Amino acid sequence: AIVEAEGTEAPFMITDKCVGCGLCAAHCVTACLHVQEDGFFAVDPDNCIGCRACKVNCFWGAIEMVRPKESDT
């Protein structure tokens, strides 16, 4: 089951490892990964639920899961 939790981790792309294959985007359940003009993928953090499907399906290790920075309030 996919569970959304406050403060969940989000994918961070390591561009020097990315080969632009698109497997991360193909396995993203919320379609929050989008190819950019440079061929790399960008994450829409508002739609990411932190399920790690992109990370698990990236054979090149180009995705790390990171916690979002807390805003200064």
Locate 34 and state its tokens. 């989008």
The CA distance from 4 to 13, in Å, is 21
pLDDT tens digits along 22-72? 999 999 999 999 888 888 888 888 888 889 999 999 999 999 988 866 655
pLDDT tens digits along 14-29? 888 988 899 999 999 9
In 3D, which of 17, 11, 8 has the Cα closest to residue 44?
A: 11
pTM above 0.85, yes or no: no
